[in-house]
Amino acid sequence: MSGHDHSHDHDHSELSDIELRVRALETLLTEKGYIDPPALDELIETYETKIGPKNGARVVARAWADPDYRDRLMKDATAAIAEFGFTGRQGEHMVAVENDETTHNMVVCTLCSCYPWTVLGLPPVWYKSPPYRSRAVRDPRGVLDEFGVHLPEEKEIRVWDSTAEVRYLVIPERPHGTHGWSEDRLAELVTRDSMIGTGLALDPAKRETAA
């Protein structure tokens, strides 16, 4: 009888080549003592649940549901966001910009990749790419079309350039049909891209169907 029980091993047949390479690299680094798996798991869990889009979604949901909070957020986003305990590096000097029937806001960092980690987590690869950083300013409507966001020609698109001094959070339009919804339920409609401006809040009807 073998001294090791391998019954808990996972079937890797459905993993992509990249995922398999990551697993192999993680195993190698662990064996050499360069990384500590529990510490790595804690770091990943932190970015998934404590620092990331879920934080921003809570802020947006509160702004949708509570007019007083929305006013505080628009006047001093840094302080209003801090009411949730979301503070720290990359989250200082926040400004909230709000989408409405006539205006759509979109965020870019033309110089590097300044990004509000405390409410959106780590920036997506495309946000840091030179094509996005240059085209978002020159052709925002075309970039939005590529993201699947097709806006009426009469809707104004405002592009905000994040810097080390100022970072932006887009408050997407609240979807119709959500009157009376709880903040937790509203937060499920808020995506990372909708808080950058390259997406919209989820359609509640489709969300309900999917659920």
Q: What proportion of the chain, given as a percentage, has pLDDT over 70?
A: 80
In 10 A of CB 183, how many CB atoms?
Answer: 16
Return the structure tokens found at 143: 């970039």
Q: What are the pLDDT digits (tens) for 178-204? A: 999 999 999 999 999 999 999 999 999
pLDDT at 64: 98
Q: Where in the chain is the domain with CATH 3.90.330.10?
A: 53-210
- Binning pLDDT at 50, 70 and 90, where does residue 158 land? very high
Between 3.30.70.270, 3.90.330.10, 3.90.226.10, 2.40.128.90, what CATH number should domain 53-210 receive?
3.90.330.10
Return the structure tokens found at 131: 């094509």
Contact 106, 149 (CB under 8 A): no
Tokens 């400004």 map to which residue? 95
pLDDT at 15: 60
Q: Which residues are marked as active site?
A: 109, 112-114
Return the structure tokens found at 103: 């205006």
Lowest mean pLDDT among 24-33, 66-75, 90-99, 108-117: 24-33
Q: What are the pLDDT digits (tens) for 16-59? A: 676 677 677 767 777 777 777 776 665 555 555 556 799 999 99
